[in-house]
């Protein structure tokens, strides 16, 4: 199927927002070290840009989960495909995600990570589609609330394409 991508948030808008979140996190974690947990693959572009703008010491780790979904919907069944390399015990952890949609993936993930006894655990997501929420998720740092549209860019894909777009676009199917 052919598709087109229409700009929703420009590169400048996204960059400015990431700068602001980075400043906020730097303030909130003054005197501490933050441990960023990136949810692959979508969170990777956002995490790298954000990490560069945090002024307190930062460590990073990655995990990959799959939600057994179709291309545009997640099923709620979450499987860990790649686990973290490091324990979370006693760390100030911020989970970095690309988008919270139904909330199923994140609510499962946050519960699982809480069991690993971090000193603190927060969630930072670039995008939020509140209209689609099925399971409640507490977002501590948010980039943008967006309408119920399928978006790509800045790590988000459609059929593994468009992750490299430096802006957020809406996919229009023809």
d(CA 169, CA 9): 7
66 near ligand IMP (CB under 6 A):
no
Q: Which stretch binds ligand IMP (CB under 6 A): 21-29, 54-62, 87-95, 150-158?
A: 150-158
Q: CB–CB of 78/108 below 8 Å?
A: yes
Pairing of strands 151-152, 168-173: antiparallel
Cβ-based nearer residue to ligand IMP, 103 or 143: 103
Cβ-based nearer residue to ligand IMP, 56 or 142: 142
> For ligand IMP, which residue of 54, 96, 102, 113 counts as binding (CB under 6 A)?
102
Distances (CA, A) of 79 to 61, 67, 125, 141: 18, 6, 20, 25
Residue 13: CB atoms within 10 A of its CB come to 15
Q: CB–CB of 152/172 below 8 Å?
A: no
Burial (CB < 10 A; 0-12, 13-18, 19+), residue 106, is buried
Q: Which of ligand IMP, Mg ion, none does 58 bind, CB closer than 5 to 8 A by kind?
A: none
125 near ligand IMP (CB under 6 A):
no
Q: Which stretch binds ligand IMP (CB under 6 A): 6-14, 30-38, 82-90, 147-155?
A: 147-155
Q: Which residue has the tokens 């948030």?
A: 9
> For ligand IMP, which residue of 50, 123, 124, 156 counts as binding (CB under 6 A)?
156
Catalytic residue among 28, 61, 83, 101: 101
- Where do contacts with ligand IMP occur on this chain (CB under 6 A)? 42, 67, 74, 97-106, 150-152, 156
Please list the active-site residues.
101
């Amino acid at each position: 199927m052919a598709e087109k991508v229409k700009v929703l948030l420009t590169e400048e808008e996204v960059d400015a927002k990431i700068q602001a979140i980075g400043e906020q996190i730097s303030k909130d974690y003054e005197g501490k070290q933050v441990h960023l947990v990136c949810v692959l693959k979508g969170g990777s572009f956002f995490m790298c840009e954000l990490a560069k703008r945090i002024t307190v010491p930062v460590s990073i780790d990655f995990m990959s989960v799959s939600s057994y979904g179709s291309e545009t919907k997640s099923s709620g069944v979450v499987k860990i495909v790649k686990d973290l390399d490091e324990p979370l015990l006693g760390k100030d952890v911020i989970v970095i995600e690309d988008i919270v949609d139904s909330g199923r993936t994140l609510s499962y993930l946050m519960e699982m990570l809480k069991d690993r006894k971090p000193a603190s655990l927060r969630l930072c997501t670039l995008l939020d589609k509140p209209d689609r929420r099925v399971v409640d998720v507490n977002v501590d740092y948010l980039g943008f609330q967006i309408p119920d549209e399928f978006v790509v860019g800045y790590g988000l894909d459609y059929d593994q394409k468009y992750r490299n777009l430096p802006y957020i676009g809406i996919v229009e199917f023809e």
